[in-house]
A and B are shown apart, each in its own frame.
Chain A
Amino acid sequence: MDNLGSLFHGFGVALTWYHVALMLVGVLLGILVGVLPGLGAPNGVTILMPLTFTMDPVSAIILLTSMYWGALFGGSTTSILFNIPGEPSSVATTFDGHPMAKQGQAVEALSFAFLSAGFGALVGVIVITVLSGWVTRFALRFSSPEYFAVYFLAFASFIGLAGANPVKTLVSILLGFAFATVGMDTISGSLRLTFGFDELLRGISFLIVVIGLFGIGELLLTMEEGLKFEGVKAKVSLSGVLATLARLPRYWVALIRGSLVGVWMGITPGGPTAASFMSYGLAKRFSRRRANFGKGEPEGVIAPETADHGAGTAAMLPMLALGIPGSATAAVMMGGLMIWGLNPGPMLFIERPDFVWGLIASMYLGNVVAVVLVLATVPLFAAILRIPFAIIGPVIVVVCFIGAWTVGASKPDLWFAFFFGLVGYVFKKLDYPVAPLVLALVIGDKAEDAFRQSMLMSQGSLRIFYENPLVGTITTLAILLVTWPLWAMLIERVWGVRTARVQPVDLE
């Protein structure tokens, strides 16, 4: 097990006072970001990103990933206490978590949520530890055609599996690719799609797009609902948490099923939001206690929470090993990696083992830290939510625009952030998924390069995508997935079977 050896080396990197302190700061900031509606994990990580440009990459990624874990946890607090999901991925937690809280079981609901989330995250990290060696060895055989095929597969799975309208998903992905081509072309050096505006020479930063789509857009949606926070008070005590922990093994089926769904959806770019809905749906269909679902059933909290966190952590595997982010937040981090001068992909494991294994080790620690911190700080963050939104909302707006400015100290970026905020608002209301747009924006250049290099290798023949069994299999899978909506329609027509579809949710 050379992975185990690498992992211990990683613990050596992660277990310094500085890094543990960064973990604490990251998790706390993350919980704050997760608790506040309008500030989600992708957006929070984006705003923090420019501050890490001067840091050492290992420290930076530990800070940012810890923030991600904190945000995933924080989102559940508001779901349970206030019935308002702080994160899109904790929507499914409201179904049973809030009823539990209203019945006076707030502490149980919170403890179940955080402990099972911690379990899901742990399974995710273990899967990364075990699989990463194998995935990288596999990926080392990849050259440009294989890479393009894998990118194609990633986007095909959005169209085929996400459950959102496939044409809208397609348009969203393509817009992301189009924004990615703005600015200097990396191969020919020519300036593309700038329409004569000097402001567009540097291209459109994915960080600005995320701040707009996920920050301002989300805030506009929140305001539209005119929300009021009327929460349930909860006092978390150690004995209450321990009593819940003792009851947790009874739900082992939900725990394992949720983790598996989560890991699967994290590795294939489904993301935590889709994972939590899918896991909740499965639990509701197969549980012995399904009659209680929606009325405050602990299993209805455990199922989405394990999947949510399993997916959040597992999304790091394809990001590190293949350079394909499994969620919007992972996409932002991957963009960060490239800014820090690291090249995600199998070579990263060989060239920078300290970075990769330090990160993986920090994921074990960070999630344990997050479970403890989130339980300890429930009253604090619940109190923050009692501050009227007339104050919190505008302060979040200011933070978003500060984030937009620090990306590149450029004035047009403020306009872009505002513009993408409006786009995000309209897109979310019309069920255009925005996560695929961000993913396409981040890997757009890489996908184009892979395609052009493949075309150079084959002198323009598309047959290179069927040149060997490996690339052929990936390409075939991708084509099947892209056309899946058509197949599903055909199956329904011919056999009259309704194919299972995931709830149409926007992917985090």
Chain B
Amino acid sequence: MTERALVSRATMEIATALATGAAGAAVMWGSIEHDIGWGDSGPAAGYFPFRIGALIVLGSLANLGFALWGRHEHSVFVTAEQGKRVLAFALPILGFVIVSLFLGMYLGTILYLFFVMVFQGGYGPIRALALGIAVAVAMRLIFPLWFKVPLLIGPLEAWLGLY
């Protein structure tokens, strides 16, 4: 590996072990709101989750130990080049989710496809818009009209009277 590492594998192993450990701790913390012992009708509501959470914490500690003191070659989690590609793909998705929540999925889809095709794919705006609209029309035909499953709509659709 001659490529520059953006994040090393060891760093990511540690971060992940900490994250799963935190999730385990949260599960334990959430379950002590309930009885974690023995109720009138056998194991109470918190019994199972509390022990699951504790085991997650233990497993995460073991993974943390392996990551800190285990043998590991200096391997790469993600190189700068890969990191750029992943972010270039993930950030527009994030944008798509946010726009969809406010403007509905049809507009979200059109804007998202337009954006990625024009700014990342290098397509002309007309083609990008056409594809976005085509996908939105297909969505409308397949989901609400054919299968009677409504999609998330925004103020525009409501104003146009589309469900």
Task: Please list the residues of chain A having a beta carbon within 8 angstroms of any beta carbon in chain B.
Answer: 50-51, 54, 167-168, 170-171, 174-175, 177-178, 181, 185, 187-188, 190, 192-195, 216, 219-220, 223-226, 388, 390-391, 393-395, 397-398, 401-402, 405-406, 409, 411, 414-415, 418, 421-422, 425-427, 429-430, 432, 448, 451-453, 455-456, 460
| Given A51-B149, A174-B56: A195 and B105 interface contact (C-beta under 8 Å) | no
Q: Is the CB of B139 within 8 A of A402?
A: yes
Q: Is the CB of B121 within 8 A of A452?
A: no
Q: Is the CB of B92 within 8 A of A193?
A: no
From A393, A421, A456, B42 is in contact (CB under 8 Å) with A456
* Docked complex Cα distance between A449 and B105 (Å): 39
Q: Which residue of A lies closest to B44 (CB)?
A: A188
Q: List 13 A-B contacts (CB under 8 A).
A: A51-B147, A174-B56, A175-B23, A181-B52, A188-B34, A192-B30, A192-B45, A193-B31, A390-B116, A402-B105, A418-B93, A430-B77, A460-B38
Q: Is the CB of B45 within 8 A of A188?
A: yes
Q: How far is the CB of A490 from chain B (nearest CB, A)?
A: 18
* Docked complex Cα distance between A415 and B46 (Å): 27
* Docked complex Cα distance between A177 and B54 (Å): 12
Given contacts A192-B45, A391-B131, 6 further A-B contacts (CB under 8 A): A167-B62, A178-B27, A181-B27, A181-B49, A195-B26, A394-B116
Residues of B within 8 A of A432 (CB): 16
Residues of A within 8 A of B38 (CB): 460
Residues of B within 8 A of A455 (CB): 42-43
Q: Is the CB of A224 within 8 A of B116?
A: no
* Docked complex Cα distance between A104 and B49 (Å): 57
Task: Give chain B interface residues in 74-105, CB to chain A under 8 Å.
Answer: 77-78, 81-82, 85-86, 88-90, 92-94, 96-97, 100-101, 105
Interface membership of B41, Cβ < 8 A: yes
Q: Is the CB of B34 within 8 A of A190?
A: yes
Residues of A within 8 A of B123 (CB): 390
Q: Is the CB of B12 within 8 A of A398?
A: no
Q: Is the CB of B135 within 8 A of A402?
A: no
* Docked complex Cα distance between A406 and B49 (Å): 29
Q: Is the CB of B97 within 8 A of A171?
A: no
Q: Which residue of A lies closest to B60 (CB)?
A: A171
Q: Which residue of B lies closest to A193 (CB)?
A: B30
| Given A178-B53, A406-B143, A418-B93: A223 and B63 interface contact (C-beta under 8 Å) | no
Q: How far is the CB of B30 from chain A (nearest CB, A)?
A: 4
Q: Is the CB of A181 within 8 A of B48?
A: yes
Q: How far is the CB of A446 from chain B (nearest CB, A)?
A: 12
* Docked complex Cα distance between A178 and B81 (Å): 35
| Given A224-B86, A394-B112: A185 and B45 interface contact (C-beta under 8 Å) | yes
Q: How far is the CB of B28 from chain A (nearest CB, A)?
A: 10
Q: Is the CB of B31 within 8 A of A171?
A: no
* Docked complex Cα distance between A395 and B109 (Å): 9
Residues of B within 8 A of A421 (CB): 90, 93
Sort A-B residue pairs by CB-CB distance and give the 7 closest, nearest first: A390-B121, A456-B42, A193-B30, A171-B59, A223-B89, A188-B45, A181-B49
Q: Is the CB of B48 within 8 A of A452?
A: yes
Residues of B within 8 A of A195 (CB): 26, 30
* Docked complex Cα distance between A216 and B89 (Å): 10
Residues of B within 8 A of A181 (CB): 27, 31, 48-49, 52
Q: Is the CB of B149 within 8 A of A406?
A: yes
* Docked complex Cα distance between A395 and B44 (Å): 46
Q: How far is the CB of B96 from chain A (nearest CB, A)?
A: 7
* Docked complex Cα distance between A460 and B43 (Å): 8
Interface membership of B133, Cβ < 8 A: no
Q: Is the CB of B152 within 8 A of A398?
A: no
Q: Is the CB of A174 within 8 A of B101?
A: no
Q: Is the CB of A190 within 8 A of B13?
A: no
| Given A395-B135, A397-B96: A177 and B52 interface contact (C-beta under 8 Å) | yes
Residues of A within 8 A of B120 (CB): 390
* Docked complex Cα distance between A453 and B41 (Å): 9
Task: Give chain B interface residues in 106-163, CB to chain A under 8 Å.
Answer: 109, 112-113, 116-117, 120-123, 131, 135, 139, 143, 147-152
Q: Is the CB of A167 within 8 A of B59?
A: yes
Q: Is the CB of A216 within 8 A of B93?
A: yes
Residues of B within 8 A of A171 (CB): 20, 56, 59-60, 63
Q: Is the CB of B45 within 8 A of A401?
A: no
Q: Which residue of A lies closest to B20 (CB)?
A: A171
* Docked complex Cα distance between A406 and B150 (Å): 8
Q: Is the CB of B23 within 8 A of A178?
A: yes
Q: How far is the CB of B3 from chain A (nearest CB, A)?
A: 12
Residues of B within 8 A of A411 (CB): 101, 152
Q: How far is the CB of A419 from chain B (nearest CB, A)?
A: 10
* Docked complex Cα distance between A456 and B38 (Å): 10
Q: Is the CB of A220 within 8 A of B86?
A: yes
Residues of A within 8 A of B59 (CB): 167, 170-171, 174
Q: How far is the CB of A1 from chain B (nearest CB, A)?
A: 40
Residues of B within 8 A of A223 (CB): 85-86, 88-89
Q: How far is the CB of B149 from chain A (nearest CB, A)?
A: 5
Q: Which residue of B lies closest to A457 (CB)?
A: B42
| Given A171-B56, A175-B23, A414-B100: A391 and B77 interface contact (C-beta under 8 Å) | no
Residues of B within 8 A of A430 (CB): 9, 12-13, 16, 77
Residues of B within 8 A of A216 (CB): 93
* Docked complex Cα distance between A185 and B43 (Å): 12
Residues of B within 8 A of A422 (CB): 90
Residues of B within 8 A of A50 (CB): 149
